[in-house]
Structure 1
Amino acid sequence: MALFTKEPEKNPKIQPTTAPHASSTSPAPAISTSPVAPRANGPAASEGRAYLDRGSKIIGKISFEGPARIDGEVDGEINAKDSLMIGESAVVTAQIRAASVSIAGKVSGDVVAAQRIEIRPSAKVSGNITAPVLSVQEGAQFEGHCSMQPEGIREDRKVTVFPKEERVAQAAGGLKQA
């Protein structure tokens, strides 16, 4: 069976058909793997984009060289050198690193972007986010910590953590002096 080749099968199986109906439904493909016409809401493979459609699930580490869109499920780690779009139907439980990330679905895990992160109204994000530019649209849900400094600056900072007793004493001393 020729699933992923461009050549037709030598002995194609003929399926019996019933009377044609004007309104027929056809299931959407799980993963776009060949150059096909673009879908209304998905990218075309001919544009050099990766696309993980609804009903697809990946467990593990996935990397993208060019722009990518995810509408399925991913559990693990995602690395993208270009832009990454998490669609409304996507459920992602992963650490994400990309140039830019646009989130419209559900994401659990830390998200790091070199350029920007956009959280759309339908998004539910649970985890820490890091990007120099952040856009959170009205209606979006975000739970976690946010850092909007470039990674190089963040690494140079020195953080001093005091033991709990010292913090309590300092807080009490500050109140007495005020």
Structure 2
Amino acid sequence: MGLFNREAPHRTADKAAINSIIGRGLSIVGDLSFSGKLKLDGTIKGNVKGEYLVIGKTGGVTGDVDAETCICQGKVRGNIKSKDLTVVKGCRIEGNVETVNLAVESGASLVGEVKVDDKDLRLIKTGSVSEEQLPEIASNG
């Protein structure tokens, strides 16, 4: 499901194109800067800055993330700044998000403020819900 973007692209990690992997069980303490594509299945306690970041289901960041593209399946406790951000089912973000394109799947958790660059933002018309389609409200009597 797309939120705030013109279309609802479903971005997935292209495993063949990932340059580096921080494996499950590996923990890094300190800031990390990288170029290319990084898959994070371990944990980082520090800020992360790079081009294309995939935070896997077992991955986590305690610190701020600044990436051109970020696909989050794991956990982030910190702020995220990313041009293209996809928050996948099972992901948990505790921090503020600043983005241009945001896609949030049902079942993802985002606790914080979301700021979307709205200069290119357009509303997508969806079907309206008639009163007949609304669930009944149970009476207390």
Compute the TM-score of the two structures, normalised by the length of structure 2.
0.71
Match of residue 79, structure 2, among 99, 107, 110:
110
Residue identity in the other structure for 1:124? R
Match of residue 60, structure 2, among 91, 94, 100:
91
Q: CA deviation at 1:42?
A: 9.0
Change in 2 beyond 3 A, CA 1:65/1:136: same
Asked which structure has the greater CA Rg, the reply is: 1
Alignment of 1:72 onto 2:42: yes
Trace 1:3-152 onto structure 2 (pairs within 5 A): 43=15, 47=17, 49-80=19-50, 82-113=51-82, 115-149=83-117
CA displacement 1:133-171 (0-9 Å, x = unmatched): 111100001100001117xx8xxxxxxxxxxxxxxxxxx
Q: Which ranges of structure 1 fall in alignment gaps of 5 or more residues?
A: 1-40, 154-178
Structural RMSD (CA): 2.0
Give the structure with the higher percent helix. Answer: 1
Change in 2 beyond 3 A, CA 1:90/1:84: same
Who is 1:170 aligned against?
none
Q: Which ranges of structure 2 fall in alignment gaps of 5 or more residues?
A: 1-12, 120-141
| Count of residues in Structure 1 that have an aligned counterpart in Structure 2 | 107
Residue identity in the other structure for 1:100? T
Q: CA deviation at 1:43?
A: 4.2
Q: CA deviation at 1:122?
A: 1.1
Give the structure with the higher percent strand. Answer: 2
Structure 1 residue runs of 4 or more that deviate by more than 6 Å after TM superposition: none
8 Å contact 1:42–1:51 — kept in the other structure? no
Q: CA deviation at 1:50?
A: 1.4
Residue identity in the other structure for 1:60? G
**CA–CA separation in structure 2 for the residues paired with 1:42 and 1:101:** 13
**CA–CA separation in structure 2 for the residues paired with 1:108 and 1:98:** 15
Residue identity in the other structure for 1:61? D
Secondary structure, counterpart of 1:138 in structure 2: coil
